[in-house]
Structure 1
Amino acid sequence: MLTRKQHELLLYIDSRLSESGVSPSFEEMKEALDLKSKSGVHRLISALEERGFIRRLPNRARALEVLKVPEARTAAAPSNVTQMPPRAANDVMDIPLHGRIAAGTPIEALQGTDTLPVPAALLGPGEHYALEVAGDSMVEEGILDGDYALIRKTDTARDGEIVVALINDEEATLKTYRREGQMIRLDPANRMYDPQRYREDQIVIQGKLAGLLRRY
């Protein structure tokens, strides 16, 4: 069952594709649905993907396919009309860019107001933000100084996941999460650095790594 906004967005995309064969931009979708930000559009797109109405094409950057329209609209179509194949729509979404995060020694967590344009196909379900990596302690995981870490918001983590951990409510770091008895161990991916150990009440998980964006 789709929410009203999900239903409106799907019909709007389908209508635009029928008219021109080109998907509306995230800005156009935001304005059409009277949303406050593009992140709201992204959440609706993710929900539609989870419900099987659209999907991201895995091998085509920034591409979406409309797989079906709501049942009420489908039922209204004559049974002898051949349905058109799914159409691809390219788009980029802007996600919040929250400053720099240490991949070495923890640094103060910055909350910036900038945004970073990211191919929508790189992002899965959920709400995301980006952090610029500072340091070299995660190089053995392929995370380099100057990369943009794409983070999916979550407050939980499992052993072995790379997370953004907020330490003592003031510093953030990007590390591999491990539980060690009653302690939390944050592991670097560089033999030059030692693991960091904290009490559970010192750590707040603010997200986990969903992808990387590198500029050359």
Structure 2
Amino acid sequence: MKKIIDILMTVLLPVLMAYSLLGKDIHEWAGVAMFLLFILHHVLNFKWHKNLFRGKYSGVRILGTTVNLLIFLLMLSLMASGIIMSHYVFPFLSIESGASLARTVHLVASYWCYVLTSVHLGLHGGMIMGMLRKAFRMEKASSKRRIMLHIAAALLSVYGIYAFVQRGLADYMLLRTEFVFFDFLEPLAFFFLDYLAIMALFVILGYYAAKLLTKAQAGTDKLFHRKRRK
């Protein structure tokens, strides 16, 4: 159940980013679906909330918790602003005030949420890789295959950076512009290709950040134990 919800949420992310290309009605219903899945995700992962103030906070845990809390706040702001602007799902509410602010909040929050959710996926990259190996009965990657995977990740990241700059995501995230540009003549496949590359870029960044922090923590722990022995 958890895996299905996570997959559906991941699929919905780029779909939601294409709101003007797919139609505002589809965007609103997809947004409601995303929020319901998000609530379900948190209900099924209640242990995470329960253990929030328990145990040791390593570098990876601090980063992961910060990202998770930011996503939580962004999701709430997206749903609240989305309800205010709604024309298809919640038209009966007839909220007239605050539409301009809601639009700005929705714009900024959506792009930050896309980036941080991708980082969140990357932080769980090791676990995801383990599940894929188990599901497809894959053997542990050889050193040759690992090098190939690193090269593929580097190439994908380069294209992800290009797409991030080309699509102007930084401008939307930093509110340097309040209007999102969509090329309606562009094939939809190209749009999704770019946004999937951007997602991959931040997944990769999250994955390697987790690896580096884990290694750094292991080194610190080793040094601490050596000092204690002395």
TM-score normalised over the length of structure 2: 0.24
| Higher helix content, 1 or 2 | 2
Which structure has more relative contact order (CA 8 Å, sep 6+)? It is 2
| Higher strand content, 1 or 2 | 1
